[in-house]
A and B are shown apart, each in its own frame.
Chain A
Amino acid sequence: MGKVISIHSSRGGTGKTVIAVNLAMILLKRGFNITLLDLDFRAPSLFNIFREGIKKPVGYWLNDFFNNRCKIDQVLIDISESCNADKKNLVGLANPSIYAIGDMMSKSQRWEASALDKLYFLRRLLLNDMKIDYLIYDTSPGIQYSSINAITSSDWPIVVATADPLDIECTAKMLSEFYDIFKKKTLILMNKVFPETNPPHEEKELINQLKETLSHPIIGMIPCYCDVLRAKRDYLLSIKNPTHPFIQKLKEIAEKLVKY
């Protein structure tokens, strides 16, 4: 039975998207069927990342599926070939147009309830019928409907946090006031932490401090790599530079998830 992983954070700029995309690629190369959905309707970015690998113009977006304008198989794009993968690699893109973003910001409570129902429908369809091993959601930061719907319908939410004390504080609050109420097996991924040169004992000390503050297991610590930040739109590091230490760290995290 497959699992749903949501990649979330309390604030923007923590590296959710680069982690979601590369984690999906690593799990794909590891031999799993993957589906990656862009549920960050306020700042969609997967379209720009996968633009090169998509051969036909996008006919329908995830926005259309949630607005009852199309069926999900009209939205999901198979990019296995462009990733040289034998396994299924499907992506569902959010519409990056300003009108679509505006439309998704003004939805009613009833619409959001229907969106949650549709996410659970997708979960059943992809995991049970289409035999997807990992369904990964890239979400909006903070507490807003698109992200909390994603978290509610996921098995393993991963919260990406940086070492910024403000971020840690916001993350701790979000965990206790939302995640814990839904009894989620939440994992914390620290990103952009300290430089690679720092001694390992300092890392252990920080992990212990974070475990105490956040009361959730830390699945990994990724140092801040300037070249990842400088890569701009070149997010697919796992394909273009698979030996990069950032990807090596993510591979360790992927292995932990597989055994989780």
Chain B
Amino acid sequence: MKIDSLIKSNEEILGVQREILRILSKSNETTYPKEAIVALDTMTLLKLPNSLRETALALYKLGEATAEDLATETGRKRGIESAYANQLTRTGYLKKKRVGRKVVFYIKKSHAER
């Protein structure tokens, strides 16, 4: 009887441990937030590599843009702009949305109102 109760208690402790580990492993997951939460201020822009800074500045200028729009602004190839914009999105600096078949990058909701 004593052994049964010890086994039961042990199982309960193990259950609690598993739950703690599950919560801990979740909190350690390096998932990027759905919404861009990293501020892309001027000092952050200054610290970015030249290639990414150029894409970010082009996007600031255009408000929101496809990789093709960015390529027209920077004079680089569409594929390169797409890679840089996606890299900036993964790091949380930009957001992207799908408009029809196009992927549109943006820094934040544009100020539609004056």
The answer to whether B42 and A71 have CB atoms under 8 Å apart is no
Tell me the nearest residue of chain B to A123, going by C-beta. B61
The answer to whether A182 and B57 have CB atoms under 8 Å apart is yes
Contact of A73 among B42, B53, B57, B114 (CB under 8 A): B114
The answer to whether A121 and B41 have CB atoms under 8 Å apart is no
Contact of A149 among B42, B57, B63, B114 (CB under 8 A): B42
Tell me whether A132 is interfacial, beta carbon within 8 Å. Answer: no
Kindly identify, within residues 157 to 202 of chain A, every residue whose CB is under 8 Å from any CB belonging to chain B.
178, 181-182
Given the known interface contacts A113-B39, A113-B40, the answer about A178 and B46 at a Cβ–Cβ threshold of 8 Å is yes
Kindly identify, within residues 14 to 37 of chain A, every residue whose CB is under 8 Å from any CB belonging to chain B.
none
Tell me whether A125 is interfacial, beta carbon within 8 Å. Answer: yes
Q: How far is the CB of A186 from chain B (nearest CB, A)?
A: 15
Given the known interface contacts A112-B41, A116-B41, A152-B42, the answer about A71 and B113 at a Cβ–Cβ threshold of 8 Å is yes
Given the known interface contacts A118-B111, A120-B61, A153-B60, the answer about A113 and B46 at a Cβ–Cβ threshold of 8 Å is no
Tell me how many residues of B have a C-beta within 8 Å of chain A: 20
The answer to whether A121 and B43 have CB atoms under 8 Å apart is no
Q: How far is the CB of A93 from chain B (nearest CB, A)?
A: 17
Tell me whether B88 is interfacial, beta carbon within 8 Å. Answer: no
The answer to whether B63 and A145 have CB atoms under 8 Å apart is no
| Majority secondary structure, A binding face | helix
Given the known interface contacts A71-B113, A73-B114, the answer about A112 and B39 at a Cβ–Cβ threshold of 8 Å is yes
Tell me the nearest residue of chain B to A148, going by C-beta. B42
Given the known interface contacts A72-B114, A125-B114, A152-B57, the answer about A112 and B107 at a Cβ–Cβ threshold of 8 Å is no
Q: How far is the CB of A126 from chain B (nearest CB, A)?
A: 10
Contacts of B42 in A (CB 8 A): 112, 116, 145, 148-149, 152
1/0 per residue, CB under 8 A from A, across B78-114: the answer is: 0000000000000000000000000000011011011
Q: How far is the CA of A108 from the CA of B38 in the complex (A)?
A: 12
Tell me the nearest residue of chain B to A75, going by C-beta. B114
Tell me the nearest residue of chain A to B37, going by C-beta. A110
Given the known interface contacts A73-B114, A120-B61, the answer about A145 and B46 at a Cβ–Cβ threshold of 8 Å is no
The 15 sampled A-B contact pairs (Cβ below 8 Å) are: A71-B113, A73-B114, A112-B39, A113-B41, A114-B108, A116-B60, A117-B107, A118-B111, A120-B60, A121-B110, A152-B42, A178-B46, A181-B53, A182-B45, A182-B53
